[in-house]
A and B are shown apart, each in its own frame.
Chain A
Amino acid sequence: MGGENNEEKVSMPFFGLPRIYPFIRKYRLRIVLMVILGALTVLVDAAYPLFNRYALNRYVGGKTLDTLPYFILVYIAVLLTQMVLNIVSTTMCGTQEMIVNRDLRNAAFEHLQTLSFSYYNQNSVGYIHSRVMSDTGLIGEIVSWGMMSLVWNSAYLISILVIMLAIDLRLAGYIILLLPVAAVFLTYFQRRLLVYNRKIREINSRITGDFNEGITGDRTIKVLNIEEKMRRDFETDTVDMKKTSVRASHYSALLISSMTMMSSLVLALVLWKGGSLTEEKLMQIGTLSVFLTYALEMLEPISEIIETLSHFVSIQVNIERLTRLLAEKPDVFDTPEVVAKYGDSFRPKRENWEELHGDVEFRDVSFRYPDGEELVLSHFNLKVPAGTNVAIVGETGAGKSTLVNLVCRFFEPTEGAVLIDGRDARERSQLWLHSNIGYVLQTPHLFSGTIRDNLRYGRPEATDGEIMDALRIVSADGIVERMDKGLDSEVGEGGELLSTGEKQLLSFARAILADPRILVLDEATSSIDTVTEKAIQNAIATVIAGRTSFVIAHRLSTIVGADVILVVRDGKIIGSGTHEKLMAEKGYYYELYTKQFEELAIRKVWAGE
């Protein structure tokens, strides 16, 4: 879903290729060489019928075999030359394609690492992913094979024409007259096909959507007893698909058959006119046969050229999307002065980094999300001395993440400043700050790889001993012992081989190992079994001890023990203080807390406690 369905039509000068030029600039010499080699191969290709002609004129016409051994030798030599040329040029071309793909992918990926969260909020993961993975491939293909095919076929076409003109001017004239007709025909059909293909892709994604809905909505479908309706609705889509595809096939069939029909017409023309010339002894039989061959082969390169051009047209959209991604500017960025001192995200100057203590201060902060209209914070002030535990409470969707986003500098204040250790966060690099922050997500995110890889994520140099210590602190050592390969066990894509609770514990261990000065914790609401629940509660207590921590809190234990509690409602902070103070106010916090307490108590009733 998400933007992929509505295929935009984009039109740019030179099919948008100039925008891609920076990526192929450094390979330009190779590309020129590749094209020259390709053109040479084609020239050799075009020469084959000449052998035929020679054999006809010399041996068949002249009734002698005197040069046959040389003929065979030269033929084989040409074959081998062509083979070498072919291997070199296609390998170069294919390699070039892959290299351009790789460079584009790397560039897109690296750029994405610098883009701000607002970009990620506005574009779905699926959308961004296909920019990185599929647009790049299509573009690489077009700048290598597309260009090569254009050059090859033009060269082939031109050499055929030149040879024909050289052999016989009048006869060649007749053939050349047919060219513009063919070109017009082909362009028309290609254009129609392009429209249909776009439509087919649209219907296709609709059908995939139908399958998805039919399977994920199975329970609802069954209880509503609408299997038959779903089936009928589905069939309207498949009928639509069939109709459109068959109609498209009419055009492609017309395209191909009119091509071959034209080549037959050319053949007839050559036979008629050429035959007369031969009868009048103005042309040799061998020459006539060569002409017949060329006449047959001429339309092939023309149709290839037109197909390639239509490919160039359709790929513009992808070029546009990719270059738009690459041109995207991050909202949050380090100033040149900061980069000069602290380095950027890929070339940090760690030697200049100060130690981070963990004092955080919001000074007169007003904030509006880049895509929002309303101020969610207005002149907010809060001092969080190093080691303080801040709990943020409120209902789901109330905007509890805002403060955390500001502390982590995922977003920057619209007005005012967030101070870290007394200095504006913007005065130091993002990487410096992030290297000192630990982050535990509500839905724990693990990367595919081993447990060790994942735990070392925050501190690559951690030893196995340290890793085991961290695991023990959050009582997650049992998980590792249970797996057959210990720390080397794979966790699967997104950690799918582990349960949610296990993932949760591992992400705590990961945060402990990173030993950050500031810790952000987005507690899970999901109910897990009581044993894991206890383990997680203990883990939280251990992790936040002695660090500045911001906890988006759901567990009563965290809330009650916090140094400061911030109460959030409808995106705004409506109260702050300790648990006792807030309870005494009997306001919204009191309500939230009683409800939570009640839920917890009921859960205990069912658990038989």
Chain B
Amino acid sequence: MKKDSNTRFPDRSGMIWYFMKGSVRYFLAAILFAALVSFLDMVSPKIITFTVDSVIGDDAPAVSPFILSWIERAGGVGYLKTHLLLLALLIAAIGVGAALFRYLFRVNNARGAETLVERMRNTLFGHIMYLPYTWLGENSTGDIIQRCTSDVQTVRRFVAEQLTSLVRTVVLIVMALGFMLSVDRRVTLASAAFIPVVMGYSLFFHMKIGGEFKKADEEEGVLSTIAQENLTGVRVVRAFGREIYERDRFEKQNDRYTGVWVRLIRLMSMFWSSGDVVTGLQVLTVISLSASYCVHGTMTAGEFIAMVAYNQMLIWPVRRLGRVISEMSKAGVAVDRLRYIMNAEKEKDPEDAVEPPLDGDIVFDHVSFSYDGKETGEVLHDVSFTIPSGSTIGILGGTGSGKSTLLYLLLRLYELPPENGHITIGGTDIRRIRAGYLRENLGIVLQEPFLFSKTLSENIAIASPAAQEDAVRYAARIAQVDDAIESFTKGYDTFVGERGVTLSGGQKQRTAIAQMLIRKPPVMIFDDSLSAVDADTDRRIRTSLRESIASSTVILVAHRITTLMSADKIIVLDRGRIAEEGTHNELIEKDGIYRTIFELQKAGLAEEVS
């Protein structure tokens, strides 16, 4: 990673805010409704207190004058005494209201959480799509996916569950304490004294148990690996007759893993049970204190009931608070892991990027390139050649000769540093051409094409959404893959990756050829794209291609002389340098690599010519 100051999200909260755009209002609504729920939940005991004390009992109503005036308007305490149903209905109504708000709270919270996750996923995916090809090569696929799935979930859980619950918990605690204070200050203080104890204990425990959980995860990972390796290596296991060893190894690790969990369970059960005792003591304190105040006449029976009820509401949020705080550090790590992706710089076009017609001559002018920017690891060295518009050029090269690098430079998958020469199309330096436009017009068929889990027809038309069904079929026919596709039961609607459907390497290559043909790009590049088809199909494809793409510029990379021999010009690339250059006949005249390989392949050639 580069310097933090230049990056898009220099800190964690900045990125969380960015992700939360669009969901904040739901979360705010959720918190508001949650507060309403808590409020109504606490009003209920108040009404019960009033009913038990002043309506059923004989105490003077201990409520504010404002509420008293409402009671008078309703007919006074005496009236309520004979109409308890009214009060019951009030409780029921509050219950219904609380239920409604609870529903709204949950739905808003869920909507917030889902909006958040949607935004995170879309942003991440969208960002990854536009990251430079080289970035994706430097990072492991599994790791990125892990970040985009489980780390996203961790952040979501933190925001939707912990963060809102943190706000709610604080509100609850304040409210419960407030209500308790309005009843009796002394008991409230005694009860509140337990808060730091319970919270500290809970925090301590969750920090401690976090490490144990990590250990359990690690042990599970080891166990899982043993199973995985056993299953993938089943041949080795059986052939060496090592079933006993494998079983013992698995059982031993299984015992370890189980052991960690048993210890964890013991810890947790100790924590919860002893936590119960602490909160039980709190309840006991409240009950005994309140009882003695009642006896001394400084508290009423109704207040006693209310006090006990409010205290009950105080206990849970306090215990939860410890957990929320300990979760925070976990979420922080996840946020950092996402930040790593979001801070990677997208592929960039210059601001004055142009979109000239791309059917002109392609010129490589003293191009040198190395992946690490150093001269020692040069993959291409001072390569210069011209591909006239509308001509076909063949490139012959061995493994590591730099032919793929050459093509990737042309497509700007690799960026050519300014001092390393120029590549121009129709006179325009490709560094000035918008990358998307460039790739749209330079069609390439990769040696190992990737097909998407869509239907074959969708795969062929993937880069040309307007293409009709018959265009798809026409392209498939020219690419000589129509027979293979029609041999599947579902034909063009066959799903790639579907069970029981396997496309051979050659079929994949031909599907990719169709995929390019349907776009009719002015420049067509074949990166060893016929390597997996047999010589006969190779020839048929070339014949049908020649008829359909007469006006395009064609770059053919191949290792079969027959594929290359009819090109207008052939370049032999050897270890990053152009070793030979010319037409087939010219190269045959020279006593070089081309000719040697030609001689070696002569047997196959004779067959083709005949």
Contact = CB atoms under 8 A, between A and B. Distances in A.
A269 interface: yes
A434 interface: yes
Contacts of B266: 91, 94
B225 A493 contact: yes
Interface of B: 44, 48, 51-52, 55-57, 81, 84-85, 87-89, 91-92, 94-96, 98-100, 102-103, 105-107, 109-111, 113-115, 117-118, 121-122, 125-126, 128-130, 133, 136, 141, 144-145, 148-149, 223-247, 250-251, 254-255, 257-258, 261-262, 265-266, 268-270, 272-274, 276-277, 280-281, 283-284, 287-288, 290-292, 294-295, 301, 304-305, 308, 397-399, 401, 411, 413, 436, 439-440, 444, 446, 449-450, 452-453, 462-463, 465, 497, 499, 515, 559, 574, 593, 596-597, 600-601, 603-604
Interface of A: 1-2, 48, 51-52, 55-56, 59-61, 63-65, 68, 71-72, 75-76, 79-80, 82-84, 86-87, 90-91, 94-95, 97-99, 101-102, 105-106, 109-110, 112-114, 117, 120, 125, 128-129, 132-133, 207-231, 234-235, 238-239, 241-242, 245-246, 248-250, 252-254, 256-258, 260-261, 263-265, 267-269, 271-272, 275-276, 278-279, 285, 288-289, 292, 345-346, 348, 408, 410, 430-431, 433-435, 437-439, 441, 445, 447-448, 457-458, 460, 493-494, 514, 520, 527, 594-595, 598, 601-603, 605-607
A464 B112 CA distance: 62
Given A219-B413, A275-B87, 5 more contacts: A105-B223, A129-B227, A238-B117, A264-B94, A445-B232
Given A79-B276, A221-B129, A514 B240 contact: yes
A-side interface mostly: helix
A269 B436 CA distance: 70
Contacts, number: 393
A289 B147 CA distance: 53
Given A79-B280, A220-B446, A120 B231 contact: yes
A209 B244 CA distance: 37
B265 A91 contact: yes
A241 B89 CA distance: 41
A294 to B, nearest CB: 13
B273 to A, nearest CB: 4
Contacts of B436: 225, 227
A210 B152 CA distance: 15
A342 to B, nearest CB: 12
B284 A445 contact: no
Contacts of B452: 213, 217
Contacts of B227: 109, 129, 132-133
A129 to B, nearest CB: 6
B247 A216 contact: no
A221 B347 CA distance: 14
B148 to A, nearest CB: 5
A94, A224, A248, A261 pick with most chain B CB within 10 angstroms: A224
A535 B439 CA distance: 44
Contacts of A72: 284, 288
Closest 4 interchain pairs by CB? A264-B95, A606-B398, A249-B110, A94-B265
Given A64-B295, A110-B247, A261 B99 contact: yes
A129 B231 contact: yes
B56 A219 contact: no
Nearest to A460: B245
A413 B292 CA distance: 90
B110 A246 contact: yes
A264 B98 contact: yes
B164 to A, nearest CB: 14
B94 A225 contact: no
A65 B243 contact: no
Given A109-B230, A245-B110, A257-B103, A268 B89 contact: yes
Nearest to B55: A275
10 contacts: A63-B294, A82-B280, A98-B258, A105-B254, A106-B254, A211-B149, A217-B452, A225-B436, A249-B107, A606-B399
Contact of B240 (A82, A224, A346, A457): A457
Contacts of B287: 51-52, 55, 75
B128 A223 contact: no
B410 to A, nearest CB: 11
Interface centre among A48, A289, A433 (most CB of B within 10 A): A289
Contacts of B234: 117, 120
Contacts of B446: 219-220, 223
Given A223-B411, A279-B56, A271 B103 contact: no
A352 to B, nearest CB: 15
Contact of A285 (B57, B106, B272): B57
